[in-house]
A and B are shown apart, each in its own frame.
Chain A
């Protein structure tokens, strides 16, 4: 009996040591999860949807591997692949986040540029409206003024989209405003060309 006990003690010790060495690499797993979350919060779902979906897939593979190893007897657990996947996920997460930041900056720059072009076009239109002849076809001139006011008001929508980081919508709105603004300017230029003059004296009429 004593002999049996003496033989079991080293086996149990070895098992305990082995179990101690086969714990999941929690910190690395958490780092991988954080990297994916960071990428997602930076807007990866919008700016690099394809890469983000794959990043989530890597994280899922990691979780599955952890789950598989956890289901085994302690003696047979091996978290080596988990560590490998965790390292890949963390690195890939950081890369995707960097890519998102880059794309966001590009999109933002594009939106800001489009916004500036639209603002300049509207400013030019408003300047022309001030020159528009009040007498000639007054209904058309009043309508043009109303159009110019509407364009100026619409400029705020671009900023709202930029504030929401919806740079694609901001660019599209800016382009639409720019196009319309140019059309209105052309209309005024045409009216000015017909009259060959600027504003007439204000009427006394009611």
Chain B
């Protein structure tokens, strides 16, 4: 019996137990279930055999299959620990950079969209994206890097959709053909002012600016507020969009004649607006039940609570008083999206496209 040897060196069992603990500490059962399952199955199976064999007498010259298998598992387990450590570290780094980049991109986008009041145009999309980014951050904090990356990828996709939706909705602000058309409209209005030695008004939605021309010369400019969805193209009553086109003042309402400080009523909808509205209905762009709306005005502020319109153009009362004094019925009013290609919306869209390409 003195020649007998232990079936398996005890330190080998201790070493494998330590590897098992390392794998659990690394979160291998959740992070790498297949690899951990392989190790655990082998380990438990071999340990059961070790317990079963510990009453057997083994001679030194007898081969010891269990020990060989345990040593092989020790090597494989050790390699798995190293690999998982590296993988986890990589995943952590990827998740952290992805989530941080997304958060920055989302904030930048929100700020750009806010700068031209485009938030309404995106509807529920920003919240959906924000929730995904928050989830990605929460999973990261819980050290669930795989899910964090997954949520971040979904958020990134949602951001791309948002950018595309904005580009589709507001792309005309960067469209050369559209810009040339707007520039031509403005030129005709200014020319009319010169020819008729009269006043004319030009409103640029992107610049949020109203300019008064007299005898073809620019005499004053004021900042304006638009409808709550002002940058969009007006389609129907209640959409909050400010119309684009060539109009005329049809009524100048002084104190007591309007709920606002002063108001210049425009001839919206004109023939062109009605044609566009009809076509939009026919093409299914808007529901058949929608109305075209009306009562588009350039007006002052009613009260603190009415600081934004539903589609009109609003000035501070002081500016409205100055304008009202210089304008009368019949004055042409041209409302355009933008005057140049380097308008704020086109620039914001371009920056968003750059960010989209980078991520």
A interface, CB within 8 angstroms of B: 45, 49-50, 52-58, 60-62, 64-65, 81, 85, 133-143, 146-147, 149-151, 153-154, 168-169, 172-173, 175-177, 179-180, 195, 197, 200, 203-206
Contacts and interface: CB of A to CB of B under 8 A. Distances in A.
Nearest to B240: A142
Contact of A200 (B40, B134, B306): B306
A56 B40 contact: yes
Given A135-B306, A147-B126, A200-B303, A53 B41 contact: yes
A61 B128 contact: no
A154 B238 contact: no
B271 interface: no
Nearest to A143: B119
A154 B131 CA distance: 9
B310 A206 contact: yes
B335 to A, nearest CB: 15
B135 A135 contact: no
Interface string B125-158: 1111011101100110010100100000000000
B127 A147 contact: yes
B238 A206 contact: yes
Contact of A50 (B40, B52, B144, B295): B40
Given A49-B37, A172-B138, 18 more contacts: A53-B29, A56-B44, A57-B40, A65-B52, A136-B304, A138-B227, A143-B119, A146-B120, A147-B124, A150-B126, A154-B127, A172-B142, A176-B134, A180-B134, A203-B306, A203-B310, A204-B295, A206-B310
Contact of A172 (B37, B139, B296, B310): B139
12 contacts: A52-B37, A53-B33, A57-B44, A61-B47, A139-B117, A141-B228, A150-B124, A168-B142, A172-B147, A173-B135, A176-B132, A204-B259
B228 A142 contact: yes
A204 to B, nearest CB: 7
A49 B52 contact: no
Interface residues of B, number: 61
Contacts of B126: 147, 150
B37 A138 contact: no
B184 interface: no
A150 B131 CA distance: 10
A60 B45 contact: yes
Nearest to B129: A150
A172 B144 CA distance: 11
Contacts of B40: 50, 53-54, 56-57
Given A142-B120, A150-B124, A50 B303 contact: no
A53 B127 contact: no
Interface string B291-325: 00111110000111111111110000000000000
Nearest to B314: A205
Nearest to A183: B130
Interface in B93-137: 117, 119-120, 123-128, 130-132, 134-135
